Structure 1
């Protein structure tokens, strides 16, 4: 059952794709391999990186790839970049309407049994599709791979995302997601979704989060198997202008907490519709990543904090409790996170701001400095 559709803008579609040759179905260790990969790219004013993203999708070592680019009303030279790939991709041009509507349009146009929402500033490695296909199975909702952080000039830096010391099993991931709404996952570009899973969600309506990957990431482990490939097969670009750079505005932390609440509501509604076991009622308070966002929100913009009944005392109690709840994080990391949260909650405002800046903003500044 799909969620309620929203009213889509009139789209001007230009078909840039030749007949896609059919790939024979290959037998893998799990099941029959997927046939077609759909790489969907929603772009807004990323002409500097868009060509690299499209090239990486077309260069994957898989015989049946379709690439669909939705330009969401860009005002830069994105259209010229897109048109330079005429004959290899499908292009859709729409007025600026946001990522959710752009990805709804791309998904409606797509035909692949595996779907990847590739950010316009990221890039896929050539072996991505082959690795995903090898990990496929009949109950898979998504296959996730690791990401290598790169700067604006494609230079690698920093740890892999997620930074894994082991390969989590699908049953573990489901249990973690139900318990705390979180599990070791990369963001959008490094996730390959089963079409049969996405068809239960799309088109994603305005009552859900504006970022497509929020809904998909939250529901994938609740509605099937999430399989992990411990190999960096996606390049995750950080260049200072990323929306994930929360340090650009203090109110972004409150926004992220509000998104988590909306994501949880979406998961509960769709799981109930599909007859799937719901997450724990207190799972949001058990999320260690959200705990850090709550602490930052409570200190920087307490007047905007969107979590009902939350406060510095409540967050502090949750921080202490998080040390004793086992999940995919080792004890050392649980202690470090709890200590950081308690320090942010208790410190004088200037010191709290410095701690938040170091945790959430410093790596983006480092990537900008390396580029400059």
Structure 2
């Protein structure tokens, strides 16, 4: 039986860490190991880690950021396969079993699966991510600059040998975070990606509600565009120097463009909304019209909704932005 390591990278998540570790230990796949890398936590995380004794393997390191934690985890892992579980997320007991079944039927570098979105207190929201599976040609599309649909970090299982063609990622003061970006997208440059349509875990969203415009834990809409651009630049560097692959200078991704759209439109006066659509919306509209992962109905519907932001009624514009940006807002609307 092939071995799998669930690697949990933690920083100051003592509130959730035990649940993440327990979910990893509860896997029904016998050859599952659990590794916890603590990235210099200053809360009670290390006491929680020590309480598990020999049931887990632990690395307690100085704080270096997520990139440093991922690099360290991959140095420590000695199994053929790995799931990089965020310390505030959960895996369902059959996650590793289902992932290994998929690996067994294809030559995959990564198998991804959907995650149920849970609130900060662990309640189910009724939303799952991502909304669609990865396409068969996601690697070729990535070479053209298109970021393919993928779950957050915890919804991905990798061949370690494939990940090690991308990692270690250079550790810089500007690039401490976003290690999951390099794993999720870089892996498509070295092998095929398989998808499981079922939810095999839970993704915890902090401080997000249907009335919020943001739906993310790491960067808010105002910060995400700059961070994604920097990570794409770093991925281009890795692809060029390690894989001899030249990625385009810019990338295309609706989530990225959506963050820009929200930061420019939400709460803006009518004249500013019109000005943005007239002069600055080209990349946003291109990420919809040329999107290789969407069908015509979704494209037309998203453009139609976006245009409602030009109506001279601010509450409607703000509602539309929330509806486009935050899946919880869409779920709330459906419930009513």
After TM superposition, the score normalised by the length of structure 2 is: 0.81
Aligned to 1:158: 126
- 1:245-324 alignment to 2 at 5 Å? 246=214, 252-275=220-243, 277-282=245-250, 284=251, 286-299=252-265, 313=278, 315-324=280-289
Aligned to 2:136: 170
Distance 1:64 1:321 in 2: 45
Q: What SS does the aligned partner of 2:75 have?
A: helix
Larger mean Cα displacement after TM superposition, 95-104 or 113-122:
95-104
Q: What SS does the aligned partner of 2:258 have?
A: helix
Residues 1:95 and 2:62 are matched in the alignment: yes
- 1:335-350 alignment to 2 at 5 Å? 335-342=300-307
1:103/1:348 CA distance change after superposition, 3 Å: farther
How many angstroms does 1:359 deviate by? 4.3
Q: What SS does the aligned partner of 1:253 have?
A: coil
Distance 2:135 2:180 in 1: 21
- 1:195-206 alignment to 2 at 5 Å? 195-206=160-171
Residue by residue over 1:251-294, the C-alpha shift from the partner in whole angstroms, topping out at 9 and shown as x without a partner, is 83242111221222223222222445444445x2x422222112
Aligned to 1:71: 38
Aligned to 1:182: 147
- 1:94-173 alignment to 2 at 5 Å? 94-136=61-103, 139-164=107-132, 168-171=134-137, 173=138
How many angstroms does 1:109 deviate by? 1.5
8 Å Cα contact 2:110-2:194 kept in structure 1: yes
Distance 2:18 2:161 in 1: 29
8 Å Cα contact 2:68-2:176 kept in structure 1: no
1:105/1:267 CA distance change after superposition, 3 Å: closer
Distance 1:339 1:109 in 2: 50
Q: What SS does the aligned partner of 1:186 have?
A: coil
How many angstroms does 1:136 deviate by? 1.5
Larger mean Cα displacement after TM superposition, 261-270 or 187-196:
261-270
Distance 1:287 1:133 in 2: 29
Residue by residue over 1:180-207, the C-alpha shift from the partner in whole angstroms, topping out at 9 and shown as x without a partner, is 4321210100101111122122222235
Residue by residue over 1:198-220, the C-alpha shift from the partner in whole angstroms, topping out at 9 and shown as x without a partner, is 21222222355612111111212
How many angstroms does 1:52 deviate by? 1.1
1:139/1:273 CA distance change after superposition, 3 Å: farther
1:323/1:195 CA distance change after superposition, 3 Å: closer
8 Å Cα contact 1:46-1:78 kept in structure 2: yes
**RMSD, matched Cα:** 3.4
Q: What SS does the aligned partner of 1:87 have?
A: helix
How many angstroms does 1:301 deviate by? 12
Distance 1:247 1:349 in 2: 21
Alignment length (residue pairs): 318
Q: What SS does the aligned partner of 2:232 have?
A: helix
Q: Which runs of 5+ in 2 are unaligned?
A: 269-275
Q: What SS does the aligned partner of 2:221 have?
A: helix
1:336/1:85 CA distance change after superposition, 3 Å: same
Q: What SS does the aligned partner of 2:189 have?
A: coil
After TM superposition, the score normalised by the length of structure 1 is: 0.73
8 Å Cα contact 1:292-1:341 kept in structure 2: no
8 Å Cα contact 1:71-1:93 kept in structure 2: yes
Aligned to 2:205: 238
